[in-house]
Structure 1
Amino acid sequence: MANTKNVLVAEDSSVIQNLTKKVLQFQNYEIDSVKNGEEVLKAIEAKHYDIILMDIGMPKMDGMECSRQVRALDNKEKAGVPIVAITGNAKNYTDEDFSNAGINEYIQKPIDFDHLVDVVKKYTS
C-alpha cells in the first residue's frame, strides 16, 4: 500500500509495545518499535516516520528529553514529526511541560486503544 503511514512506538514495556503494534497494524499502519530514547534518535535518522508514540518513562533517555532532542534536529521534516506522549504519570507534568518538550499531545495509561487509534489518525491524515 503506497499510502501506508509509518509509526514509531517508543516504549520500554514489551506488553504495551506489542499491544500497540497489533492494534495499529490492524489499522494498516507500518510499525517499528524501540525501547528507549537513544534508539528513537537512531531510528528517525534512518527512516521517515509520520508519528512517534513516546513513552515518557524510558531508560537511558526519557521521553521528555528525547522529544526535545527530536525537535532540535537539523532536518526540519524529522524535527517536525508529531510526537504523542504515552504516560502513566501525566499528573507529574503540566500541559506546558509537554508543550515545552515539543510534545503535541499525550495519552494517559492505561491506554484506551480506540482513543490511541483516533489520535494517530488525527496526526497522520
Structure 2
Amino acid sequence: MLCEDHKINREIACKILENVGCRVDTAADGKLCLERFAGSEEFFYDCILMDIRMPVMDGLTAAREIRRLHRSDAKKVTIIAMTANAFDEDVKKSLDAGMNAHISKPIDREMLYKAILKDYYSGE
C-alpha cells in the first residue's frame, strides 16, 4: 500500500512500482491507511510505503497504530518511511515508530526497490 497525501507524488510512486509488476493500493492519509490495513485479510499487504507528513493522521502515528493491531501480520508487514526529512533524528523517529526502513524523497527507484526487497528476502 502506498500512503501519500500529494496526488502527483502518489502517481509517480505508483508508476515506479507498477513498472516492476507491483499491484498498488493507495491511501491519501495515515488514517485511511490504518483503516484499509485493519479491514484487509491478514497478510494481504506485503509492504506499506508511508509518507511521514500528512493531514488527518501522520505516518509515524499510523505506523505505531498498525503495529498495535491485534493481527498476525501487524508486527510483520514491512513499513517504509518516505519523506523529504532525511536527518539522523528523522530516521530514528521512523524506526522508533515501528518502520523497517527510511528513504528520502525525491524517490530513488533503486533505493526504493532495495528497501522493499531487503525485508522481503530476509523473512522479516
What amino acid maps onto 1:41 in structure 2? L
Work out whether residues 51 and 123 of structure 1, in 8 Å CA contact, stay in contact via their aligned partners in 2: no
Shift of 1:100: 1.4
Q: Distance in 1 between matches of 2:37 and 2:9?
A: 21
Matched, 1:22 2:15: yes
Matched, 1:62 2:58: yes
Mark the CA change 1:92 to 1:61 in structure 2 (over 3 Å): closer, same or farther: farther
TM value normalised by structure 1: 0.86
Shift of 1:93: 2.9
TM value normalised by structure 2: 0.86
Alignment length (residue pairs): 118
Work out whether residues 38 and 69 of structure 2, in 8 Å CA contact, stay in contact via their aligned partners in 1: no
User: How large is the Cα RMSD of the aligned pairs?
Assistant: 1.6
Q: Distance in 2 between matches of 1:37 and 1:74?
A: 18
Which runs of 4 or more aligned residues in structure 1 lie more than 4 Å from their structure 2 counterparts after TM superposition?
A: none
Q: Distance in 2 between matches of 1:89 and 1:50?
A: 24
Find the counterpart in structure 2 of residue 96 from structure 1: 92
Unaligned stretches of 5+ residues in structure 1: 1-7
Q: Distance in 1 between matches of 2:52 and 2:111?
A: 18
What's the % identity of the aligned pairs? 32
Find the counterpart in structure 1 of residue 31 from structure 2: 38
